């Protein structure tokens, strides 16, 4: 056996969902640039789940199904009010709430293809409501019911803030959802597949994935990027702050990616959206600071920004609380997790790798009074 730390370079399965080849990300063969510029998030959900783009009636049906299933059981919402709100990270709340959803689904243990697709719709619909409801409840506000006539991205922003969002906000958020929807066998997706490969239910698979996404080396990076920008505060402080970090060999969040050699192809879309949104809000400094940081880090370390770096200033410009950045990542990535879970179910084999043992050799048990 050969050992590869972090499974880097190991091909663990075959998949028809997404690919990263020569720094090009595709969903079912469609270049991410093409989808980011043209497709809605709902189209991408359908694409990932069905391996083709929807026709007009199919897209309308999916939108209706999502709208019809956004309501969350009251018991799930009530538990938020029991949490120590000032201590709970929204990702922890999301993890608990999604797990709880399975308790209210009479088909939770039904492993038929039809039942699993129904659960897929419910999960994708309800995750938006869970994240926005928690955000409001922890502020002492009541959750807002979705509007059936709004699309997925617009409904999320509406349920979060209570006002119907402007078109540029919808465009920015929808584009971010498209860009984050899937990313081959990333840590959380692999976690989901390992979980359901035991034939555990879809709620368990998604809950496991949320746990993996919560870490700062995966989904938590964009929150850390905004924390860094806030610590710097002003454009003229960028140079000294970043150079001190580099001199101390500290990691700058939002740069580099294990699977890309020449840069994350998703980053440029959020870079442009950050430029537009910060200018619209009169807060260009966040974009200007980000470009200065990019210039230094990429120039010094040859590390280009990844998708997390500019998503931070985009979400901030949309008025989203910083600790909601990772849950929003999850809202999008539910589509990819579910696609991989359904694919795993369709051609399943238990995922059970081996470990290269490096501990002591054969030992003899010694009675406790002789140790």
- State the catalytic residues: 257, 308
**How far is residue 180's CA from residue 267's CA, in Å, rounded to a whole number?**
11
Which of 180, 148, 170, 116 lies closest to 310, judged by CA? 180
Task: For residue 303, give every residue at least 6 positions away whose Cβ sits within 8 Å of its Cβ, in sequence order, or none.
Answer: 252, 255, 256, 297
Token pair for 210: 């949320």
Which of 292, 221, 304 lies closest to 255, judged by CA? 304
**How far is residue 310's CA from residue 263's CA, in Å, rounded to a whole number?**
13
**How far is residue 51's CA from residue 197's CA, in Å, rounded to a whole number?**
21
Give the side-chain half-sphere CA count within 13 A for 146: 27
Chain center to CA of 244: 30
Token pair for 113: 């293809």
């Amino acid at each position: 056996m050969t050992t590869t730390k972090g499974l880097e370079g190991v091909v663990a399965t075959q998949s028809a969902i997404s690919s990263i080849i020569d720094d090009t990300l595709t969903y079912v063969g469609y270049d991410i640039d093409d989808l980011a510029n043209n497709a809605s998030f709902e189209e991408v959900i359908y694409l990932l789940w069905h391996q083709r783009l929807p026709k007009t009636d199919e897209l309308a049906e999916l939108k209706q199904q999502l709208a019809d299933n956004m309501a969350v059981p009251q018991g799930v919402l009530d538990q938020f009010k029991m949490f120590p709100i000032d201590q709970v990270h929204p990702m922890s709340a999301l993890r608990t709430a999604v797990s709880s959803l399975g308790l209210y689904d009479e088909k939770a243990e039904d492993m038929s293809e039809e039942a699993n697709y129904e659960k897929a719709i419910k999960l994708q619909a309800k995750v938006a409501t869970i994240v926005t409801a928690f955000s409001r409840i922890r502020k002492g506000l009541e959750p807002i019911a979705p509007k059936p006539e709004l699309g997925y991205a617009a409904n999320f922003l509406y349920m979060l803030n209570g006002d119907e969002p402007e078109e540029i906000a919808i465009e920015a958020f929808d584009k971010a959802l498209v860009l984050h929807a899937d990313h081959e066998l990333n840590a959380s997706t692999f976690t989901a597949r390992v979980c359901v490969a035991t034939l555990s239910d879809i709620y368990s698979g998604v809950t496991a994935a949320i746990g993996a996404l919560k870490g700062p080396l995966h989904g938590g990076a964009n929150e850390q990027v905004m924390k860094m920008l806030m610590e710097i505060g002003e454009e003229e402080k960028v140079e000294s702050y970043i150079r001190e970090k580099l001199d101390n060999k500290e990691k700058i969040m939002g740069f580099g990616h294990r699977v890309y050699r020449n840069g994350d192809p998703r980053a440029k879309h959020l870079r442009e959206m950050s430029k537009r949104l910060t200018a619209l809000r009169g807060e260009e400094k966040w974009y200007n600071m980000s470009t200065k940081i990019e210039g230094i880090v990429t120039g010094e370390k040859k590390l280009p920004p990844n998708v997390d770096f500019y998503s931070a200033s985009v979400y901030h410009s949309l008025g989203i609380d910083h600790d909601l950045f990772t849950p929003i990542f999850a809202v999008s990535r539910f589509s990819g997790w579910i696609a991989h879970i359904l694919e795993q179910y369709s051609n399943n084999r238990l995922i059970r790798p081996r470990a290269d043992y490096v501990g002591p050799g054969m030992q003899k048990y010694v009675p406790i009074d002789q140790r």
